[in-house]
Chain A
């Protein structure tokens, strides 16, 4: 029983980690809380839905396409709107991304209606020993793990990645070192959107797709960042897994609704005790 819960926790945790990494990047590099993160994930899910139903392809093949589309969307959003509030007080960036998130959700409602959609592909579970592993969850885990791994490779080994990390540590120093900070912001926002889109694409086969589906993801991504520490990218990974585990364990004893309350109280409690996050990040 416990083993099953742990495995389920890790499976969903990887997804949380991947999506939260996007949010962590935006927060770390641009010091912006992107409330529109959830809606970006939702758009990724819809992209996968339409591609796979219209073109009748394996939804997993659409993951890179969803990512590319949302990368472009993210870049456009940053270039037109977000860049204007990067240096503004927190209220402005919060409200701006809030406004964008409302607009995106309602745009989706207009274009796609609130009807629930879903993508049927893999069903059932693989049975390994005493554990039943939902197939879609396992595949999502593999994708999420790979993409997160690639993201860390990018961050750690490429020139771009180093530039991103330098900018998150100190924008002024990065500029002095010749890094084009505007471009980094653009790319970071695009990357983050792509990661969110990947999350959406992967859960398109697991849950029902509707315009408001992203809201809890935004909140949970914040939770992950708090658990893992602001600006601490590997922390987002651990934070994600931790959240997955906590949720699964909580669901053993509590209804789903109460486990959300638990997650919330946890969030506030951690922030009070360790404002820099559980694993220690940077204080804003």
Chain B
């Protein structure tokens, strides 16, 4: 087989295996894999804005939460079917990204980060304020429904879409232009690139996945409350996964999601109280020792194409 064929066959085989998995797996197995898909969606989406343009989005979980609430409200108050509600969740996240991104992306690096840090707090406050609609601190319950297996497939499909989208962007000139923002924004602008518009596009694209994933998760859990959908831990985990796996690459976020999820499950099973502390330590270690991530380092060392 030529190299090209192997490159296509391997992921295809994995995809087939994953598609067949629910037929043979336990409930836990399906749930765990569903979670991995979710993390791939989150990490892969974060990579689109922060890995490519270098604009660190610290509040990205806001899109997850927005999608979760939008979807949940439609499902519980308006009786929408979950698939449609999930898509609307994605739309809601994009709208939020537009509202936030349009002003905030004009801010230079550190100020953008500060603004995004505050986003979470604000959203949580808004959710509490609009209690009538969102159930406030008490949360929102959804009618019972066991849809774990269909959700598994939809989440899996979303993960594949995010990976494919990343591949398309990285191999396009649009992607190159996004990278120039990371390399040298002043020079990029001097060369005629409308950096504000490009950042916004990347930001919007990076919000869709989390929005859909949020709504799907809400359906799967059957219940959401502010703390469960806007936790800082989700943002941290997203970031660590991408940093570890390799930001700015196609498969880096996937690698990071898989490795760190498995690590998290193992550590959490044995040492439940230590794992957030461990994550803080991992962030520090990755930032200091391997800021490019596993695939990033391989890419530079062995001159691999960016599409790994």
Binding site for B on A (CB under 8 A): 33, 35, 81, 84-85, 88-92, 94-96, 98-107, 109-110, 215-216, 218-219, 222, 226, 255, 257-258, 260-261, 264, 267-269, 271-272, 275, 283-284
Contact = CB atoms under 8 A, between A and B. Distances in A.
Given A84-B288, A95-B243, A284-B109, A222 B122 contact: no
B159 interface: no
B230 to A, nearest CB: 13
A257 B243 contact: no
Interface residues of B, number: 41
B107 A272 contact: yes
B236 interface: yes
B125 A257 contact: yes
Contacts of A90: 56, 109-110, 113
Contacts of B54: 89, 91
B291 interface: yes
B95 interface: no
Contacts of A102: 232, 236, 276-277, 279-280, 283
B284 A267 contact: no
Interface string B32-58: 000000000000000000100010101
A273 B246 CA distance: 35
Contacts of A271: 107, 111, 115
Contacts of A100: 280, 284
Interface of B: 50, 54, 56, 58, 103-104, 106-111, 113-115, 117-119, 121-122, 125-126, 128-129, 232, 236, 239, 243, 273-274, 276-277, 279-284, 287-288, 291
Given A90-B109, A95-B56, A267 B115 contact: yes
B118 A35 contact: no
A90 B108 CA distance: 11
Contacts of A95: 56, 239, 243, 283, 287
B283 A260 contact: no
25 contacts: A85-B287, A91-B56, A94-B56, A95-B239, A95-B287, A96-B284, A98-B58, A99-B280, A99-B287, A100-B284, A102-B232, A102-B279, A106-B277, A106-B280, A107-B277, A110-B273, A110-B274, A110-B277, A226-B111, A257-B129, A264-B122, A268-B103, A271-B111, A272-B103, A275-B107
B108 A261 contact: no
A35 B276 contact: no
B284 A99 contact: yes
